[in-house]
Amino acid sequence: MQMIRHIVLINWKKDASPEQIDNLIRLCHRIPDECSMVYNWCSSRAIPNREPEKPSTHEFCIMFDIRSAADWDQYFQHPYPKSVLEEGLKIVDADRTASTNMLVEAEPLRVKSQILAISASA
């Protein structure tokens, strides 16, 4: 099945506190629970690059799939993502954040993956 994959690469404002960041990440992780049109959710903080001279360009990533353009419109009208965006605008560095959408072949699974930690030896 063809689905719309939404990917957001986030950087934080320099004055964002760890508590604000943790709170926004918790809010983001609730999106698939609050929005039935969201499938194949995955999110993670950046991990150190194995090549220190090439650091990661972003600090947090969100990726999820939506089945159709109609579901995409429904997602953007849903009050929960709107409230997360409002909170995010307080601490997200919009000039250093990127997002993209693409068509992918995927099955609409109600899964939620959050990579919390990966050891340096992984």
In what helix (H) or strand (E) does residue 29 lie, and over which residues does it extend?
Answer: helix 18-29
The three-point CA angle 74-75-81 to 5° equals 140
Cα 85 to Cα 91: distance, rounded to the nearest angstrom: 10
3-state secondary structure of 44: strand
pLDDT digits (tens, 9 = 90+) for 43-62: 999 888 788 888 788 999 99
pLDDT digits (tens, 9 = 90+) for 59-100: 999 999 999 999 999 999 999 999 999 999 999 999 999 999
Tell me the percentage of the chain whose pLDDT exceeds 90: 75
What is the arithmetic mean of pLDDT over 104-116?
74
Tell me the percentage of the chain whose pLDDT exceeds 70: 90
Q: Say yes or no: domain 2-115 is CATH 3.30.70.100.
A: yes
Residue 120's pLDDT is 38
52: left (phi over 0), alpha (psi -120 to 50) or beta: alpha
The domain ranges of the chain are 2-115
Cα 109 to Cα 65: distance, rounded to the nearest angstrom: 9
pLDDT at 5 over 90: yes
pLDDT at 110 over 90: no
Which backbone phi and psi does 116 adopt, to 5 degrees? -90, -35
CA-based R_g, the chain, Å: 15
